[in-house]
Amino acid sequence: MNLTERVLNRIVLAATRFVQRHGAIRPGTKAGEAFGTLGEGTWVTYPLGPQYGLSSVHIGRDCLIGKGTVLTVGYGPDDPNIPERGLVIGDRCVIGARTILTSHGSITIGDDVWFGQSIFVSDASHGYQDPETPIGDQLGDHQPVSIGSGSWIGHGAVILPGTQIGRQVVIGAGSVVRGTIPDHCVAAGVPAKVV
């Protein structure tokens, strides 16, 4: 690598770090004021994923929300019916890059929960009551989701509506979780079962 390439490489990397640091949402930023709560020491890293309904998103202290994470509450940016606390994330949580957290009623994540990357969590799905109506027009019931404190959710897991995950639980990578997972266990598979 010649001197010009080395200098350009250093400039591009420095500019990237500058944009990532100053593009992050933190307490005290204008973008941070859109959240219901954004705890001290929390970073929503840049580049950002889609975000709306942020007045219903409450994130605790010292959390790290990974690049490209989707944080949404409601059925769109102009939904007038969002709940007051649709998405609640406790203190000291790590949400891996490219995770999707989409709430319509209630998703609650306890303290010290760590997510791998590319995880999907939703409290709503679709129905199939009328085979003649497009599936996307058959909205399902909102079913609260909760993830207990101290849990670890592995890469690529899918957490379906109505799931209640206990405290200190490990969910294996790629698992599809529905129902109740008790405290202090490991669950994995499709569908996830206690192993």
Residues catalogued as catalytic: 126
Strand duo 139-142 + 124-126: pairing:
antiparallel
- 3-class SS of residue 76: coil
Position 140, amino acid: G
Q: Are 59 and 30 in contact (CB under 8 A)?
A: no
Instruction: State how far the Cα of 50 lies from the Cα of 63, in Å rounded to an integer.
Output: 18
Q: Which two tokens mark 64?
A: 């790290």
127: left (phi over 0), alpha (psi -120 to 50) or beta: beta
Q: What angle do CA 60, 114, 183 make, to 5 degrees?
A: 100
Strand duo 180-181 + 176-177: pairing:
unpaired
